[in-house]
Amino acid sequence: MILVFGKSGQVAREIARLQPAALCLGRTEADLTDPQACAALIRQHAPRAVINAAAYTAVDRAEEEESLAHLVNGSAPGAMASVCAEIGIPMVQISTEYVFDGSGTAPFSPDHPLAPLNAYGRSKLAGENAVRAAGGCHAILRTSWVFSAHGSNFVKTMLRLGATRDSLNVVADQIGGPTPASAIAHACLRIADGLIASPSGSGTYHFSGAPATSWADFARAIMAAAGLNCRIEDIATAQYPTPARRPLNSRLDCSGLAVFGLEQPDWRDALPTVIHDIKEAP
């Protein structure tokens, strides 16, 4: 059995769909503000592997709640990883491109120097460091721009606004890879199985959708796929100030995925299905 921290989030819901036998723990079963309780759950269930798909994800609010973000995104994964190392099972920790500074235009390699721009990025980096420090078999999987029919994400926001507005201003100078949550879930399960079979695959990997695009062009693709006539107007990041700084470059070098037989997903293939599922949701 694979133990998954997370139940209602985008990736956790897709893991549950792909592998119903996985045990997914939500907030009522696993409180990530209590790292030792999370560690105890791993000992209790003695799974084959652990996937941490739970996180503090309120990027802007983290600027005011950095200690809480660090507890959930840093201390909890560290406690999980320590137990996994102790009992000899692999852990897959989902991370983010926000651990980088967003400079340049080249895709970031997994070993590129880390310099997060905001509190959320710092909290996720703390989690990465804690998982590595635990010394067990692990995979840190950095991803970006997650979308699905579940939870809150850019696709759902664009569909909601696009249905009632003639035009929307969308940032055009942030470039990255939209990533279907279903593809991340598949990658997590494949990596977990791979590490069970061969712990030598332990390390840091990148997994994001291709091709790279801007938020504005992603919005145009959403409107086109949904049959909406809402016009997208390009604006600069400076014209859309937020409490947390966002990286301009979110491109990720995903070439290392080949060790697990994985390739970058094409987000354009998944988009129509996600839009259909959103429209069909009760």
CATH superfamily of 2-152+178-209+251-267: NAD(P)-binding Rossmann-like Domain (3.40.50.720)
Span between the terminal Cα atoms of the chain, in Å:
31
* Per-residue pLDDT reduced to its tens digit, 100-143: 999 999 999 999 999 999 999 999 999 999 999 999 999 999 99
What are the sequence ranges of the domains in the chain? 2-152+178-209+251-267
Q: What's the rounded Cα separation, in Å, for the pair 61 and 69?
A: 9
The yes-or-no answer on residue 120 being catalytic is: yes
Q: Which amino acid would we find at residue 116?
A: P
Show the tokens assigned to 140: 């840190």
Residues 6+ apart with CB under 8 A from 207: 141, 142, 143, 179, 183, 184, 187, 252, 254, 257, 262, 264
Show the tokens assigned to 27: 């907030």
Nearest CA to 15 out of 44, 48, 54 is that of 54
Q: What's the rounded Cα separation, in Å, for the pair 219 and 234?
A: 10
User: Does the pLDDT value for residue 282 go beyond 80?
Assistant: no
User: Does the pLDDT value for residue 163 go beyond 80?
Assistant: yes
Q: What's the rounded Cα separation, in Å, for the pair 38 and 40?
A: 5
Q: What's the rounded Cα separation, in Å, for the pair 48 and 87?
A: 10
User: Does the pLDDT value for residue 281 go beyond 80?
Assistant: no
Q: What percent of the chain has pLDDT over 90?
A: 97
Residue among 56, 98, 120, 205 flagged as catalytic: 120
Q: What distances in angstroms separate CA 262 from CA 94, 160, 205, 239, 265, one per listed residue?
A: 16, 33, 11, 38, 9
CA atoms within 13 A on the CB side of 221: 19
Cβ atoms of 141 and 254 closer than 8 Å: no
The pLDDT of 266-279, averaged and rounded, is: 95
Q: What's the rounded Cα separation, in Å, for the pair 89 and 192?
A: 10
Q: What's the rounded Cα separation, in Å, for the pair 157 and 170?
A: 12
Q: Residue 211, preceding bond cis, omega within 30 degrees?
A: yes
Q: What's the rounded Cα separation, in Å, for the pair 33 and 37?
A: 9
Which helix (H) or strand (E) segment is 131 a member of?
helix 119-133
Confidence of residue 186 (pLDDT cuts 50, 70, 90): very high
Q: What is the number of other CB atoms lying within 10 angstroms of the CB of residue 169?
A: 13
Q: Tell me the backbone φ, ψ of residue 94, rounded to 5 degrees.
A: -80, 130
Q: Which residue has the tokens 């907030």?
A: 27
Q: What is the number of other CB atoms lying within 10 angstroms of the CB of residue 273?
A: 14
Among the residue ranges 93-97, 144-148, 257-261, the one predicted with the least confidence is 257-261
Average pLDDT over the chain, rounded to whole? 96
* Per-residue pLDDT reduced to its tens digit, 13-39: 999 999 999 999 999 999 999 999 999
Q: What is the number of other CB atoms lying within 10 angstroms of the CB of residue 140?
A: 24
